[in-house]
Structure 1
Amino acid sequence: MQTVDFTTLMAACCELRKDWIPARTTTVYQRDRYTIALNLRTLKSRGWLTISWHPQAARICIGDAPPRLPDTFTFSDQLRHQLGGFALVGMEIIAPWERVLDLQFAQRPGEAAIWHLYVEIMGKYSNVILTSADNLIVTAAHQVGSQQSSIRSIQTGQPYEPPPSLTGTLPKLNESQQRWQERVSLVPGPLQRQLIKSYRGLSPALVRSMVQAASLDPNQSTEDLTTSDWQDLFLCWQQWLHTLERDGGMVGVWGDKEDKGDKGDKGDKGDKGQTTNDQGQITNNQQPTTNNQNFQPGWTDQGYTVMAWDMVKPAQNLQNLLNDYYTGELNQQEFARLHHQLSQKLSNLLKKLAQKASTFETRLQQSTQADQHRQQADLLMAYLHHWQPGMQIISLPDFETNQPVKIPLNPTQNAIQNAQSLYKLHQKLKRAYSAVKPLLEAVQEEILYLEQVKAFLKISDIYSAPEDLQTLQEIRAELIEQNYLDAPKQPIRASNNISEPYKYRTPNGFELYIGRNNRQNDHLTFRIAGDYDIWFHTQEIPGSHVLLRLQPGTIPEQADLQLAADFAAYYSQGSQSEQVPVVYTKPKYVYKPKGAKPGMAVYKRERIIWGRPQQAGKY
């Protein structure tokens, strides 16, 4: 996942200062353990400022409105109490090239700040800290004690201290190409790595796009670069610094006054940005060959950019870009984690249930011998005179076939006692059959239900949209409700809205609705389905409920029915087969048995059509 680097942070601040300062803070909401949202209101608009200290996705941008669910976090409650009603009047970096923002809050625009919200975008060390005007910490997203860190503690009531500055040379516009080149090539190595090691404020994503913009390979050794290569790369370097100065409002990009001219650097003439090239000609570093000196947010093949170097698709603004990128990346991570968790849980449950079913089947098989033991007891009672003391086995003629039947005996018992033992065994096995059969049926129903859930997990194995994550969250909630998963200690903050089903259109324009999980299946079949619709499902195979939506008086053609059957087969456990039997009927003939689990239904007056899952996959 691409992290917010210094350049991206400056670009985000540039947009936020332009559109959202000053703004009134109406409320604060905490989405999760790493993210808060400040509701801001300006004279022109309202929006939610997302601030995250996530170890991989720390960021600040205008984002989506939070869900309408209770906020139970202490940190947001403290921020809401202190910042509610105050105006956001300023947003500045605390020092050049530091990824720490100071959000300043006052009672009204033009007045001195009363509260400072420091947003530290520093990877796994990211944090959000609220201080008073006298620099004392009021609250923090993540408090750090002296035992956790000997370098910097963050505790309520302590003075706020900025994070320790990173070592490394600061990029400067007045640095000559010769000095810059000497610094980067001092130790031979891959170009991308040497740039990052030589200067602060650079990220792998920024350097990679900068190097590629100069038509160079990031892994190319600095020893292999020609004079022309260095010049092209230096122009991109200068363009980056000019953008930070012009669009990002960077103070200090030129360095201190005493550093201007860099008298110790060969070839520097002392004038801002003027150096001599290898031919002795004076060049002006302040003016790159391109006029493209503004932040230009957009998508790249590997993430996003604000410099337009390797952009494949421009973005409307950086706020939407950052919100979409990190929301998508975090959703994808959560999707993969949740999918793995549910798959593992279902596999373990099905394995245990299969073992239980096997045990019950064995006991039922044994109980089928009950009548045989009763018949042996009857024979023994009828032929008592054939018994002799000490016999271990006796052969007696069958009542109907007259064929000999061998009966094992207990030599310590007489004939009547042996017969009584056989009668008791007969009664015991009969009771076992009556007790075990419903248990086996219940286990088989559980297996059928969990196989249905497993089929939905197999269908939803790739993340492509937020609905995919919501589908898994609904499956998790369902398994918790059915007591297959333990409820988490902290309540899951899921939406009450049901995710949208898959939607397609048939050759004649009819809508097809396909359930993504059991919750949707029930919703489609028993809430949405109308009298004129047609309901489809694979025959005795776990899968989705499919609804062909029809208007009164419309009659679907065979192509419409076939496509619905194809999709029913495709979204089922039989998706790898060439043909799958699919039943279809009117929704009024589909019933949910009393006490049935989610997604379970029975039907009547059905017809059968063969679905072709491979055809649906091509549609």
Structure 2
Amino acid sequence: MALDGITLYCLKSELNELIGGKIEKIYQPESETIWISVRNNKKNYKLVISSNASSARIHLTGQEFENPVTPPPFCMSLRKHLLAGIIHGIRQEGFDRILYIDVKTKTELEDPIVLTLTVEIMGKHSNIILCDQDMTIISCIKNVTQDMSRRVILPGVKYQLPPTPEKVPPDSVELNQLEELIKRCKDVSTFFTDNIQGISPLVSREILFRAGIENIGTADLKLLYSVFKGIIEGVKANRYNPCLAIDSKTGMYKDFSCIDLTHLAGKCELKNFDSVNSLLDEYYTVFTKQSRLKQLSSDLKKIIDTNLDRCYKKLKIQQEDLAEAEDREKYRLYGELITANLYNLKKGQQCADLYNYYDGNTISIPMDPSLTPAENAQRYYKRYNKLKSAYNMLLDQIEENKKEIDYLESQLTNIQQAENESDLLDIKAELIREGYIKNNTGKKEMTYRSKPRHYRHNGFDIYVGKNNMQNDYLTLRFARTEDLWLHTSKVHGSHVIIKAYGKEVPPETLEAAARLAAYYSKARESSKVPVDYTLRKYVKKPNGAKPGMVIYENYKTILVNPEIEDLEET
């Protein structure tokens, strides 16, 4: 969701509290993001501005940024021209997605001058541009050459407005004008976006929903006009209600607006804010983390899927070779029968029909006509011996391949259940350690960031591993021999440890831990999940086994539903 014109209009009125403020600090923590510290009326403000294609924005923020040791050239330019400057005005032309921040400052000769920081919020074409009094570009966060666009954005070039389709300003639309525009309308769902300035598809859908319109043929134009004018007049009078839409199932931050998004009620969780600034600050803080999480998760899945495809293909070939090796006795028989009948056979035969004295039947044996009968017999003996040697080797290879598939599939479960970036970075570190990802850091040992999940029940501590390395740590190093160990039966999932402290674990605590094991497994969406449990002393890790892979004995099984609403993580 991008900032639209009417949301930017509401934001502009809130940013007016910066007018008269002094610019004290400027940093550029990322290639397309800057933040400016402004002090006004004894208050400090942090203004963040980004031209990132997926998160272009401007708003006040409370979050902290990690700044580079050496500031980028654009940051140095802003410091040179804007530090100690006073914010003189914040402007917006109509409901366009461009904000102008005028700053009173001085030249090197101490002459007063007003410079303009132009913030263009336009998706992949977003930019941050510093201009002088004549709107000649001093510097910009993104250079745009003539090879890239007809609109050149470079230092020394006169600033030009981006080309935009002609749209009607929303505060000047009359009923008869609306009627004329609708007559030419082909798609009612995008009518306001296509014809009215500053209206996003999201707000367009909201207007149509409030007016109860599904198709233009049955539209009550007076009602539609009334709803539209009500929203615009409210925005102009600073009567707006910043609203955030959160996906009820995934928790993903989906959409936001300066108005209530009633058409999403029931589909999303709606959260309102006191200001557009606080809405944008939360949205982009969480959205950025969620986007990084989604991208990292996708990258890791792609790596694992690639390796799984390799393993599956290898397994198919191995199983075909094993099937042939299991049928190796026929080649020994062929060699034996040919040898027994050498006196009846001649070179050049393509087939030999020989009596099989083991079952009393005649068997047809293919022959290579270019070889003598004795050479054909030797060929079959060699084939038999080769397959005999290969058989046990194939069994070992198939077993190792299945273990690798099991390990990679367990990582898919870990990725699916990762809750934050640290969880995924731990998985990535493990994949680097196991050789599935090239280590570009040069470090031999990877740093692990997350900690196992921790629950309390009836005074007992229950720990749940988030990844294979944590599973190994909990089971092999953290747990004592008398502690209880739990894992879903024959299903990928977390290792769960109940710290016994020399006491007998009550049945209700065992069940709670089993529900955790079921919930943090591939069987999360199932019911009556079998969970094995045993004492830690009966759990062992085979030599050379992958992280998280163990064997266990003397276990019992409990059936539980993976529900943990009554358990609180500490």
TM-score bracket, normalised by the shorter chain, equals 0.7 to 0.9
Q: Distance in 2 between matches of 1:435 and 1:360?
A: 10
Say which SS state the counterpart of residue 556 (structure 2) adopts. strand
**Residue 412 of structure 2, aligned match among 445, 454, 460:** 454
Q: Quote the residue 1:568 is aligned against.
A: 517
**Residues 20-35 of structure 1: matches in 2 within 5 Å?**
21-25=21-25, 27-30=27-30, 35=32
Q: Quote the residue 2:345 is aligned against.
A: 390
Say which SS state the counterpart of residue 6 (structure 2) adopts. helix
Contact 2:33 2:52 in 1 (8 A): no
Q: Quote the residue 2:449 is aligned against.
A: 498
The one-letter code matched in structure 2 to 1:137 is I
Shift of 1:540: 3.7
Residues 396-444 of structure 1, C-alpha deviations (whole Å, 9 max, x = no match): 867xxx9899796969888876665555444433443354344323322
Q: Quote the residue 1:601 is aligned against.
A: 549
Q: Quote the residue 1:537 is aligned against.
A: 487
The one-letter code matched in structure 2 to 1:611 is L
TM-score under structure 1 length normalisation: 0.68
**Residues 146-161 of structure 1: matches in 2 within 5 Å?**
146-150=146-150, 152-161=151-160
Q: Quote the residue 1:36 is aligned against.
A: 33
Structure 1 unaligned runs (5+)? 244-292, 461-466
Contact 2:181 2:195 in 1 (8 A): no
Relative to structure 1, is the Cα distance of residues 232 and 26 closer, same or farther in structure 2, using a 3 angstrom cutoff? closer
Q: Distance in 2 between matches of 1:408 and 1:192?
A: 75
Relative to structure 1, is the Cα distance of residues 200 and 356 closer, same or farther in structure 2, using a 3 angstrom cutoff? closer
Q: Quote the residue 2:75 is aligned against.
A: 80
Contact 1:188 1:222 in 2 (8 A): no
The one-letter code matched in structure 1 to 2:491 is I
Residues 372-413 of structure 1, C-alpha deviations (whole Å, 9 max, x = no match): 7668878988xx7x7524274655867xxx989979696988
1:304 aligns with 2:256: yes
Q: Count the aligned residue pairs.
A: 534
Q: Distance in 1 between matches of 2:145 and 2:224?
A: 49
Q: Quote the residue 1:180 is aligned against.
A: 174
Shift of 1:29: 0.5
Contact 1:39 1:46 in 2 (8 A): no
Relative to structure 1, is the Cα distance of residues 70 and 594 closer, same or farther in structure 2, using a 3 angstrom cutoff? farther
Q: Distance in 2 between matches of 1:426 and 1:192?
A: 72
Contact 2:48 2:59 in 1 (8 A): yes
**Residue 611 of structure 1, aligned match among 554, 559, 562:** 559
The one-letter code matched in structure 1 to 2:24 is R
Moved more, 535-544 or 89-98: 89-98
Q: Distance in 1 between matches of 2:258 and 2:370?
A: 95
**Residues 113-124 of structure 1: matches in 2 within 5 Å?**
116-124=116-124
Q: Quote the residue 2:249 is aligned against.
A: none
Contact 1:78 1:139 in 2 (8 A): no
Shift of 1:547: 3.2
**Residues 76-115 of structure 1: matches in 2 within 5 Å?**
77-84=72-79, 86-87=83-84, 89-90=86-87, 92-93=90-91, 95-103=93-101, 112=112
State which structure, 1 or 2, has the greater radius of gyration over its C-alpha atoms: 1
Contact 2:29 2:66 in 1 (8 A): no
Q: Distance in 1 between matches of 2:142 and 2:531?
A: 55
The one-letter code matched in structure 2 to 1:155 is L
Q: Distance in 2 between matches of 1:229 and 1:500?
A: 54
Shift of 1:120: 0.5
1:59 aligns with 2:57: yes
The one-letter code matched in structure 2 to 1:52 is S
Relative to structure 1, is the Cα distance of residues 129 and 481 closer, same or farther in structure 2, using a 3 angstrom cutoff? farther
Relative to structure 1, is the Cα distance of residues 155 and 514 closer, same or farther in structure 2, using a 3 angstrom cutoff? same
The one-letter code matched in structure 2 to 1:569 is A
Root mean square deviation of aligned Cα: 4.9
Q: Distance in 1 between matches of 2:536 and 2:34?
A: 44
Q: Distance in 2 between matches of 1:139 and 1:370?
A: 77
The one-letter code matched in structure 1 to 2:512 is L
Shift of 1:322: 0.9
The one-letter code matched in structure 2 to 1:607 is Y
Q: Distance in 2 between matches of 1:217 and 1:138?
A: 50
Residues 321-359 of structure 1, C-alpha deviations (whole Å, 9 max, x = no match): 113223444555666666566556645543442232232
Q: Distance in 1 between matches of 2:382 and 2:224?
A: 97
The one-letter code matched in structure 1 to 2:160 is E
**Residues 213-232 of structure 1: matches in 2 within 5 Å?**
216-217=211-212, 225=220
Say which SS state the counterpart of residue 60 (structure 1) adopts. strand
Say which SS state the counterpart of residue 185 (structure 1) adopts. helix
Q: Distance in 2 between matches of 1:234 and 1:417?
A: 97
Q: Quote the residue 1:162 is aligned against.
A: 161
**Residue 322 of structure 1, aligned match among 280, 300, 309:** 280
The one-letter code matched in structure 2 to 1:306 is C
Relative to structure 1, is the Cα distance of residues 167 and 342 closer, same or farther in structure 2, using a 3 angstrom cutoff? same
The one-letter code matched in structure 1 to 2:343 is Q
Q: Quote the residue 2:531 is aligned against.
A: 582
Q: Quote the residue 2:471 is aligned against.
A: 521
Q: Distance in 2 between matches of 1:60 and 1:473?
A: 30
Identity %: 25
Relative to structure 1, is the Cα distance of residues 22 and 131 closer, same or farther in structure 2, using a 3 angstrom cutoff? same
Relative to structure 1, is the Cα distance of residues 351 and 19 closer, same or farther in structure 2, using a 3 angstrom cutoff? same
Moved more, 77-86 or 225-234: 225-234
Residues 42-61 of structure 1, C-alpha deviations (whole Å, 9 max, x = no match): 48777754322244532112
Structure 2 unaligned runs (5+)? 247-253, 347-351
Q: Distance in 2 between matches of 1:536 and 1:583?
A: 6
Q: Distance in 1 between matches of 2:371 and 2:221?
A: 106
Q: Distance in 1 between matches of 2:73 and 2:550?
A: 53
1:444 aligns with 2:418: no
Q: Distance in 2 between matches of 1:454 and 1:478?
A: 13
Q: Distance in 1 between matches of 2:229 and 2:523?
A: 59
1:12 aligns with 2:6: no
Residues 26-77 of structure 1, C-alpha deviations (whole Å, 9 max, x = no match): 53200xx6x41426374877775432224453211244646759789xxx61
The one-letter code matched in structure 2 to 1:77 is P
Residues 88-109 of structure 1, C-alpha deviations (whole Å, 9 max, x = no match): 632622644432233456779x
Contact 1:104 1:113 in 2 (8 A): no
Q: Distance in 2 between matches of 1:390 and 1:193?
A: 86
Q: Distance in 1 between matches of 2:304 and 2:363?
A: 48
